[in-house]
Chain A
Amino acid sequence: MTNLLKFLTESGKLKTIPRSGWVLRGVKNPESIAEHTFRVALMAWTLGRQKHNFNIEKLIKIALVHDLCEVYAGDITPYDTILPKDTKKRKEMLKTWPRFTEAQKKKLSESKHKKEKQGLNKLIKNLPAGLKKEMEMLWLDYEKGLSREGRFFKQIDRAENLLQSLEYWQIDKSLPQKSWWTQANELFDDKLLLELVGNMDKEFHKTHRPKH
Chain B
Amino acid sequence: MEIKTFYLTKGKLKELKKEYEELLVSEKNRAGQDEAPKIFESDNLNPDFISFKENVDFLRNRIDELKNIFDNCVLIKNPPKDKKDIIDLGAKVKIDIDGQKDEFVLVGTLEANPFLGKISNESPVGMALIGKKVGDEVIIPSPVKTVYKIKSIKYEIS
A interface vs B, CB < 8 Å? 52-53, 78, 96, 99-102, 105-106, 108-110, 113-114, 117, 121, 129-130, 133-134, 136-137, 140-141, 143-148, 151, 177-178, 181-189, 194, 201, 205, 209-212
Is A117 a contact of B46 with CB atoms below 8 Å? yes
Residues of B within 8 A of A194 (CB): 124
Please count how many residues in chain B sit with their CB below 8 Å of the partner chain's CB atoms.
43
Residues of A within 8 A of B143 (CB): 177, 181, 201, 205, 209-210
Assess whether B116 is interfacial by the CB under 8 Å rule.
yes
Min distance, Cβ B20 to any Cβ of chain A, angstroms: 12
Docked complex Cα distance between A78 and B115 (Å): 9
Is B114 a contact of A109 with CB atoms below 8 Å? no
Is B51 a contact of A102 with CB atoms below 8 Å? no
Residue of A110, A181, A185 near B123 (CB, 8 A) is A185
Is B100 a contact of A96 with CB atoms below 8 Å? yes
Assess whether B35 is interfacial by the CB under 8 Å rule.
no
List 9 contacting pairs A-B, 8 Å CB cutoff, sorted by A: A108-B115, A121-B49, A143-B45, A146-B65, A148-B2, A177-B143, A182-B97, A182-B146, A201-B143
Residue of A52, A96, A113, A201 near B44 (CB, 8 A) is A113
Residues of B within 8 A of A189 (CB): 109, 112, 120-123, 126
Chain A interface mostly helix, strand, loop or mixed? helix
Assess whether B144 is interfacial by the CB under 8 Å rule.
yes
Tally inter-chain residue pairs, CB-CB below 8 A: 110
Which of chain A's residues has its CB closest to B118's CB?
A105
Assess whether B30 is interfacial by the CB under 8 Å rule.
no
Min distance, Cβ B23 to any Cβ of chain A, angstroms: 11
Besides A189-B122, A210-B143, 10 other CB < 8 A contacts? A99-B102, A102-B117, A109-B115, A143-B45, A146-B65, A147-B65, A151-B109, A182-B144, A185-B123, A186-B124
Contact with A along B121-158 (1 / 0, CB 8 A): 11111100000000000001011101000000000000
Residues of A within 8 A of B116 (CB): 105-106, 109
Is B144 a contact of A210 with CB atoms below 8 Å? yes
Residues of A within 8 A of B50 (CB): 136-137, 140
Residues of B within 8 A of A212 (CB): 144
Residue of A117, A151, A183, A205 near B49 (CB, 8 A) is A117
Docked complex Cα distance between A100 and B101 (Å): 8
Is B115 a contact of A146 with CB atoms below 8 Å? no
Which of chain B's residues has its CB closest to A183's CB?
B114
Min distance, Cβ B42 to any Cβ of chain A, angstroms: 9
Residues of A within 8 A of B87 (CB): none
